[in-house]
Structure 1
Amino acid sequence: MRMIYRTFFLPLSALSLALAIAAAGCSSASKPAPAQGKALSGIDEQIFIGDSIEKNYDPNVIMKRAEAFFEKEEFPEAIIEYQHFMDLHRAHVLAPYALFKLGESHFKMMKTVDRDPDPVNKAMLAYEKLLKEYPGSKWEADAIERVKHCHENIAQARMFVGKFYYRREAYLAAAHRFESVIKSYPDLAVSGDALYNLALTYQDLGATDWAQEKLALLLERFPNNTNADEGRALLISLSGGKRTGGSSAVASLNGAAPSAVSTGGNGTVSIGSPLPDGSAALQDGTAASKQSTLCRLGIWC
């Protein structure tokens, strides 16, 4: 009887195991297969999979991939794809759009003026390239506005650095930053702030005549600047309480003598305040004319 039980036990066990495997297989087969090419905001996920020639070179696939990254705010990845598009398809009808979106991707990565300026510079480069290589494109007006915004950001960053140096009493380094704002972006409102801060810097350096120049320029070119009232009061103070109009106190920008330099009856030249480099007053009008074109801060400039 024991022999008969063993004879039937093994086949039944094997049969049970086979049925269990078959049931598991049917159960897994009944589950719906994962959707292929699932849409991500209207973009086919298949464009991210694989390494085929089509995925690497087809302009439509590259553009879809770039747009998907941009929509997800994955801007570093979007930058790679837009740049890849431009490297391969500069003559494509979508090239101006790709270049604009390349700039936009960098633009979206911009932070405050005290942070890394690299995204600002790269965004401006892309926009300027669009304006140069694809004039009259649909995105020209937007690119022009973005370039202005980038200029404003760069100017504000220089102001931030200049004020930092000024607070640390590194006046020459501060003056260099403020002057660069005035020279590079003379039409921006921030140039008015730069003129006022440059005047304060020159005052602390002892070059009060230069300070008066900058204050007069501030009042003449930016009368509505937030620092205009303080600048006017300081200008009156530096000029000995004498109320001075904006244009009359402006030193010549073409090499004429500064406003604080006066010529006496005997032809000698006197300078109202000690020069930061301690140089003596010049003794004749010809020398004074030459001196006015040089930096009177000597090697500090």
Structure 2
Amino acid sequence: MKTFLRLAVLAVPLALAACGGKDDLDELALNDTPPEVLFNEGLSLRAQGKLRDSTQKFEELDKLYPYSEYSKKSLVNLAFLNYSRGKYTETVTAAKRFVTLYPGDEDSAYMLYLAGQAYFRQMPDITRDQAVTRKAAGAFNELIQRFPESEYVPDAESKLRIVHDQLGGKEMQVGRFYLKKRNYIAGINRFKTVVVDYQTTRHVEEALFRLTEAYYALGVVNEAQTAAAVLGHNYPDSQWYKDAYSLLNKGGYEPSEDSGSWISRAFKSI
């Protein structure tokens, strides 16, 4: 009897907890509000500036009527509302889901733009890992490639220049670190990335000088001469070119381009 009473006492709170959880689940299932009503309620709350309540309304609609036309419209609103509220992770989630489900829809351009903007707003400073910055580049590039006529492309291209400048700056920071440690090969690989992938950024002049410096330190004189020659041809008034020329001149060399060098080919391909 004592054992039975103990089990009975334990069962009461467990049963209550189970009932509470079931009620929470059933509450959504029993909501038979038509999707158009939920959608209009969400729009009304949004118009009133009640962004959190509006977000919840669209989330409810999406759960009740997944894959419906109103759920599709809700995803657009959810991406916008979350972005407006600074909920960037949620913005990306809604935008990515929309693009996956409706890749050819005209609103996919806007969703890619919002995803890029959400990543862009989270870009860290140059000293930290740039994974988010690369994701911003990916979203903006996908928008430009898939929807070149979209009204969002000009701003995406403008943001992409900033993104590339930051990514190029990160490569330069790491490259300088390796150069300081006399790990010339590792440094060259970083400067090469700048020259090949971020050639239109402000970092390319220094990257060409650092290549001159690193190759010269390794004794690969023809590549050092080529880097300096390409630097002088494209940026004749640059202080970096003057420094590269001076470095070579001290060893009895001058800038001289080897057309077979990867550096020369990289610039000719642009």
TM-score (norm 2): 0.69
Say whether the 8 Å CA contact 1:63–1:82 is kept in structure 2. yes
Please name the residue that 1:170 is paired with: 183
Helix, strand or coil at the partner of 1:73: coil
Alignment-mate amino acid for residue 62 of structure 1: L
Say whether the 8 Å CA contact 1:56–1:62 is kept in structure 2. no
Query: Is residue 237 from structure 1 mapped to residue 245 from structure 2 by the alignment?
Result: no
Deviations 1:84-113 (A, max 9, x none): 221223333322111111111112111123
Give 1:242-257 correspondences, 5 Å limit: 249-254=255-260
Please name the residue that 2:77 is paired with: 64
**Residue 49 (structure 2) aligned to one of 41, 62, 65:** 41
Q: What is the rounded CA distance, in whole Å, between the counterparts of 2:257 and 2:169 in structure 1?
A: 26
The aligned length equals 213
Structure 1 residue 178: Cα displacement: 1.3
Q: What is the rounded CA distance, in whole Å, between the counterparts of 2:125 and 2:165 in structure 1?
A: 12
Q: What is the rounded CA distance, in whole Å, between the counterparts of 2:225 and 2:195 in structure 1?
A: 16
Residues 48, 226 of structure 1: alpha-carbon distance in 2 compared, 3 angstrom cutoff: farther
Report which of the two structures shows the higher radius of gyration computed on alpha carbons: 1
Please name the residue that 1:151 is paired with: 164
Please name the residue that 1:15 is paired with: none
Helix, strand or coil at the partner of 2:65: helix
Alignment-mate amino acid for residue 140 of structure 2: Y
Give 1:109-128 correspondences, 5 Å limit: 109-128=122-141
Structure 1 residue 162: Cα displacement: 0.9
Structure 1 residue 173: Cα displacement: 1.0
Say whether the 8 Å CA contact 2:222–2:256 is kept in structure 1. no
Structure 1 residue 196: Cα displacement: 0.6
Q: What is the rounded CA distance, in whole Å, between the counterparts of 2:57 and 2:104 in structure 1?
A: 26
Structure 1 residue 209: Cα displacement: 4.2
Residues 53, 226 of structure 1: alpha-carbon distance in 2 compared, 3 angstrom cutoff: farther
Structure 1 residue 49: Cα displacement: 4.5
Helix, strand or coil at the partner of 2:199: coil
TM-score (norm 1): 0.63
Say whether the 8 Å CA contact 2:110–2:152 is kept in structure 1. yes
Structure 2, unmatched stretches of 5+, are 1-40, 262-270
Residues 135, 212 of structure 1: alpha-carbon distance in 2 compared, 3 angstrom cutoff: closer
Say whether the 8 Å CA contact 2:222–2:258 is kept in structure 1. no
Deviations 1:108-157 (A, max 9, x none): 11112332222122222222221222221111222222333332222222
Please name the residue that 1:213 is paired with: 226
Identity of aligned residues (%): 22
Query: Is residue 105 from structure 1 mapped to residue 118 from structure 2 by the alignment?
Result: yes
User: 173-182 or 49-58: which moved more?
Assistant: 49-58
Say whether the 8 Å CA contact 1:86–1:99 is kept in structure 2. yes
**Residue 180 (structure 1) aligned to one of 193, 196, 202:** 193
Q: What is the rounded CA distance, in whole Å, between the counterparts of 1:174 and 1:143 in structure 2?
A: 31
Please name the residue that 1:54 is paired with: 65
Say whether the 8 Å CA contact 2:188–2:211 is kept in structure 1. yes
Residues 60, 224 of structure 1: alpha-carbon distance in 2 compared, 3 angstrom cutoff: farther
Structure 1, unmatched stretches of 5+, are 1-35, 256-301
Alignment RMSD (CA, Å):
2.6
Say whether the 8 Å CA contact 1:54–1:61 is kept in structure 2. no
Please name the residue that 1:201 is paired with: 214
Structure 1 residue 216: Cα displacement: 2.4
Q: What is the rounded CA distance, in whole Å, between the counterparts of 1:51 and 1:140 in structure 2?
A: 29
Larger fraction in helix: 2
